Structure formats: C-alpha cells, structure tokens
Amino acid sequence: DGGITQSPKYLFRKEGQNVTLSCEQNLNHDAMYWYRQDPGQGLRLIYYSQIVNDFQKGDIAEGYSVSREKKESFPLTVTSAQKNPTAFYLCASSMERFQGADTQYFGPGTRLTVL
Amino acid sequence: AQSVTQPDIHITVSEGASLELRCNYSYGATPYLFWYVQSPGQGLQLLLKYFSGDTLVQGIKGFEAEFKRSQSSFNLRKPSVHWSDAAEYFCAVSNQAGTALIFGKGTTLSVSS
C-alpha cells in the first residue's frame, strides 16, 4: 500500500537533547512538508521541500532542521534550541511542486513530549 | 497575508441532524480552499477542495462545501450526521506563493445520540 509513514508514534525527550522524527513516503511525491500541531492552534508549517536536496523554512522553523537527501525521506530534527517542542508533528507530501491546488497527503503523526 | 478563520471551536450535533461548519478566509485573489478531517491522534484526510468551476463542491463521506466569494466563505455541510463523523475539521487555503497550506485552528465536532 502506498502512503506516508512516521516513526516513532510517541517520542519522549529530555531537555537539551536533539531528537529526529522520521517521515517516509512511497507515493513517488516530489514535495514534502512538516507541520506542528498544538491544541487549539491548528497546523503550522515548519519546513517544506519541493524537490530533493532543496528545502525552505516555513512559519516556525526556529529550533528545527531538516534534510532531503532522498525523494522518499524527509526527517525532522528538533534541536535543543526549540524552547517548547512538546507537540504533535505531522508530515505530508504532494505529488508535484505544490501549485496551490494539489492535495497534501498526511502521515499518522508523531507525538513528542519533553520530560 | 492569507488567513483562515473557523469561528466555532466546538460544535455538538445530534445524530441524524444537519451540519454546517463555518470557514472564512482572507485572500487577495481566487483562493484554493480545502477541508480536512482528523480523528483523534491521527493524521489528516482530505474531504474536498475547491480551485475553480462550480462553487458547490462534493467530497467524500457525504460532505459538500460551497464557495461564496462575496462572503469570503467556504462552509462545510452534511445533511445527516453520523456518530462516526465526530472528529476535528480543518479548513485551509493555499498561500499566495502556492508553496504550502495555511490552516484554520479547527472545529471539533461532537455527535450526540
């Protein structure tokens, strides 16, 4: 089955640690995205990538980093510089470079909790 | 700047009753508009989208939405709600650069029996 997988489902981090969230898709999509979801805040864009080896900051990129070395993978690292990382993180992809009308397909999410 | 407003944080509807979830957007040109649904602890699923043509859009699970440019609205409707429709619903608009989506804060739907 084609789709987007995110791992782990739950992640616990101690303050001061970096953690990496995995996102893999086998849909052969060019574009991938990371969103952060907080209760009552909707989804906010962290980073997006329209093509391999290229990515752009979204609205709340501070304290996060990404890489896009392979078309199917777009890992997100939450660094110690992110002051409030506890949230639900969603990865998404779309078929082509996003042109406004493309559907974004979402993974099941990773819930990160800072202890 | 583009923005999306969902005025209702939480709505409760009786099973079998009709539903309307409100969405207002701020956008300078013809927007691309989306409705997504999220079950607890899950990812988002696209219900429907509008980008041109007929202003009444049909989606999955019996949902429809109507684009009204004069009111800057894209309200989601369903004639008869089922208990399985209980979830969080997000309206979204593509940003002006066409590079990503801007989401509203969501409306939580509860269904009472």
**Which residue in chain B has the smallest CA separation from A59?**
B102
Distance from CA of B69 to the nearest CA of A (A): 17
Contact B32 A101 (CB under 8 A): yes
A46 touches B at CB < 8 Å: no
| Torsions phi, psi for B75 (to 5 deg) | -80, 140
**Mutation test of the interface with chain B: which of A9, A10, A104, A111, choosing the one with the most B Cβ atoms within 10 A?**
A104
Chain B residues inside the 8 Å CB shell of A104: 46, 101
pLDDT in tens, chain A (115 residues): 679 999 999 999 888 899 999 999 999 999 999 999 998 888 999 999 999 999 999 999 999 999 999 999 999 999 988 889 999 999 999 987 666 667 889 999 999 999 8
The predicted-structure confidence for B26-73, as pLDDT tens digits, reads as follows 877 778 899 999 998 889 999 999 988 889 999 999 999 999 999 999
